[in-house]
Chains A and B, each alone.
Chain A
Amino acid sequence: MARMKFLCDADRCIECNACVTACKNEHEVPWGINRRRVVTLNDGKPGERSVSMACMHCTDAPCAAVCPVNCFYTTADAVVLHSKDICIGCGYCFYACPFGAPQYPKVGNFGSRGKMDKCTYCAGGPEPDLSTIEYEKYGSNRLAEGKLPLCAEMCSTKALLAGDGEMIAEIYKQRVIKRGYGSGAWGWKTAYRETVAI
């Protein structure tokens, strides 16, 4: 089985936000929620880089550990998913997540945060694969169709890579060797406790 990861090659990302838009559209993500976002570092200064970030599907995921109702599970592809039926919207996973991935729709007064929503790696949720109910709660399940996450698939500069960790690390390594530079696999150390050695 593959160990799915994301890798954003910040030297290629042009902050076009197509990944953000593609994700919102593919999954009909509710208003106010962005499963993926692009953060620009050193904006306007020399050395500016943009990084597209969503849930990294961490190894030994902190969100899953802190959840008071244990609603997370990890798929055979190492994708970190959760059940919206069990989630109570307490907000702890956001505090624990190193990448700010979990989000909560506002559903009422006095902090009644709704069920947490985050990137599913286009892999749906606990409901039967490709069912309507799965689509309504979690968005489409491209993995079940044999496809990779849409954000990475349609990235125009191929900055955002999705797929088996070893394969995308290899692709990134080749790029760095060929072009002679690379600012590294952003977030990998924090998410996977390893980085791409070049």
Chain B
Amino acid sequence: MRRGPTLFRTLVAAAALTVSVGALSPALAQQTKDGLNPTGQNPTAESVNEEFLFKQDPKITGRISIPDHKAANLIQPAGRDYRAFRESWLPWIGALAVLGIIALLGAFYLWRGRIRLEPNADSGKTILRFGGFERFTHWMTSSCFIILSLSGLNYIFGKRLLMPLIGADAFGVISQYAKYSHIYLAWPFMIGVALMLVLWIKDNIPNRIDWQWIKAGGGFLGKGHPHAERFNAGQKMVFWMVVGFGSAMSITGLMMIFPFALTDITGMQVMQVVHSLIGVAFIAGILAHIYIGTLGMEGAYDAMGSGQVDLGWAKDHHDLWVAKEQAKTRNDSRISPHQVPAE
């Protein structure tokens, strides 16, 4: 139905164009006079062509009669650039980020060794650092993170490292499960990041004490223990990295889980590139966090393990926080001395 008037209009326009252009341009007039085309028209003169459309826009898009709006995009050569990023750049960036941080941490360990507990008058007593819900949030988010990282790295490195070892079929099966785990565990991960934000933001607002802490080398580069509240500047950086990167991963990840819901093909490519770049940076950052929370510092792990830390350690590392906790209540419920108090 629509073609009739369209075609008619096209023909009228074409005729008009040929006549007017013919009158103006001797070259074109010659071509039509030569009668290459029996109708005396040159439909190409006003037809769309690829070169011209690419000059207007890097993608060629038209109208489509099927209910799939992204199919209206006819050609997008940018797919080749996306491919160049993912295949030529990303594996190197990813390897550099992950192996680079491992090498740095290894070198740091060799140089500084494990930061030991320094026993003092308060050692032996403990103080509650993270309550049950805080620890639950931490472990839920972090266990999801580990699986998200491994399944995420599998998208980049699996076919290069794992596939040659176990064969295409087994690798396909593993990757399918890795994909399910990535997409399903993303949800508890996102909930965890949101909970962390609510639980810990009040203790993570940067202030002047952080600046002093950084200038003093944070206690592991320099000597002695600079003042710190519940979280020192380094821990605050980890917090803001988790919140910032976590949100970025969530937004870009959701865009990929619901592809084309909010953006077009170019947007999807950007989302994927951002997700992969922040993903490898996030993995590197968290590796450093894991190092300092376990191998790097004696006594630190207990905070997320049992939730109770050594009071002597706490006074060294988070003196202002301990003072506040102790001031909160005389009959301090958070501090559990080993000796039963005489009562």
Please list the residues of chain A having a beta carbon within 8 angstroms of any beta carbon in chain B: 10-11, 15, 17, 20, 32, 34, 37-44, 46-51, 53, 62, 65-71, 83, 85-92, 94-100, 110-113, 179-184, 186-187, 189-190
Min Cβ gap B258→A in Å is 7
User: A46 near B14 (CB under 8 angstroms)?
Assistant: yes
Q: Does B184 contact A (CB under 8 A)?
A: yes
Q: Does B63 contact A (CB under 8 A)?
A: yes
- The 10 A-B pairs of least Cβ separation, nearest first, read A180-B36, A111-B257, A86-B172, A181-B44, A41-B62, A46-B13, A62-B83, A39-B62, A180-B37, A43-B63
Q: Does B66 contact A (CB under 8 A)?
A: yes
User: A38 near B64 (CB under 8 angstroms)?
Assistant: yes
Give the docked Cα–Cα distance between A179 and B36 (Å). Answer: 6
Q: Does B323 contact A (CB under 8 A)?
A: no
Tell whether A88 pairs with B48 under 8 Å between CB atoms, given A48-B10, A98-B75, A112-B183: no
Q: When the two chains form the complex, which single residue of B42, B187, B268 contacts A95, counting CB atoms closer than 8 Å? A: B268
- Residues on B with beta carbons closer than 8 Å to the beta carbon of A96: 79-80, 82-83, 86
Give the docked Cα–Cα distance between A65 and B79 (Å). Answer: 11
Q: Does B87 contact A (CB under 8 A)?
A: yes
User: A40 near B64 (CB under 8 angstroms)?
Assistant: yes
- Residues on B with beta carbons closer than 8 Å to the beta carbon of A99: 74-76
Q: When the two chains form the complex, which single residue of B2, B71, B172, B268 contacts A39, counting CB atoms closer than 8 Å? A: B71
Q: Does B272 contact A (CB under 8 A)?
A: yes
User: A110 near B187 (CB under 8 angstroms)?
Assistant: yes
Summarize A's interface: helix, strand, loop or mixed: loop
Summarize B's interface: helix, strand, loop or mixed: helix
Interface residues of B in 48-101 (CB under 8 A from A): 48-51, 53, 60-66, 68, 70-80, 82-83, 86-87
Chain A proximity mask over B170-181: 1 for CB below 8 Å, otherwise 0 = 011001101110
Residue of A nearest to B67 (CB): A32
Min Cβ gap A125→B in Å is 14
30 contacts between A and B (CB under 8 A): A37-B71, A38-B65, A39-B71, A42-B48, A42-B62, A43-B62, A44-B2, A46-B9, A46-B10, A46-B14, A47-B46, A48-B6, A50-B62, A62-B83, A66-B82, A68-B158, A69-B159, A69-B172, A71-B172, A95-B265, A96-B80, A98-B77, A99-B76, A111-B183, A111-B259, A112-B180, A182-B44, A183-B44, A187-B50, A190-B77
Tally of B interface residues using CB under 8 Å: 71
Give the docked Cα–Cα distance between A42 and B45 (Å). Answer: 14
- Residues on B with beta carbons closer than 8 Å to the beta carbon of A39: 61-64, 71-74
Interface centre among B47, B61, B184, B257, by most chain A C-beta atoms within 10 angstroms, is: B47
Residue of A nearest to B163 (CB): A70
Q: Does B23 contact A (CB under 8 A)?
A: no
Q: Does B154 contact A (CB under 8 A)?
A: yes
Q: When the two chains form the complex, which single residue of B45, B66, B268, B269 contacts A37, counting CB atoms closer than 8 Å? A: B66
Give the docked Cα–Cα distance between A38 and B64 (Å). Answer: 7
Q: Does B43 contact A (CB under 8 A)?
A: yes
- Residues on B with beta carbons closer than 8 Å to the beta carbon of A67: 159
User: B64 near A111 (CB under 8 angstroms)?
Assistant: no
User: B63 near A40 (CB under 8 angstroms)?
Assistant: yes
- Residues on A with beta carbons closer than 8 Å to the beta carbon of B65: 15, 17, 38
Q: Does B103 contact A (CB under 8 A)?
A: no
Tell whether A34 pairs with B66 under 8 Å between CB atoms, given A11-B47, A100-B71, A180-B36: yes
Q: Does B139 contact A (CB under 8 A)?
A: no
Give the docked Cα–Cα distance between A64 and B65 (Å). Answer: 29
Q: Told that A69-B172, A112-B183 touch, could you supply 18 new A-B pairs with CB distance under 8 A?
A: A17-B65, A32-B68, A34-B68, A39-B73, A41-B48, A46-B17, A66-B86, A86-B172, A88-B175, A89-B179, A92-B272, A100-B70, A110-B257, A180-B42, A181-B45, A181-B47, A186-B50, A186-B75
Give the docked Cα–Cα distance between A187 and B176 (Å). Answer: 33
- Residues on A with beta carbons closer than 8 Å to the beta carbon of B118: none
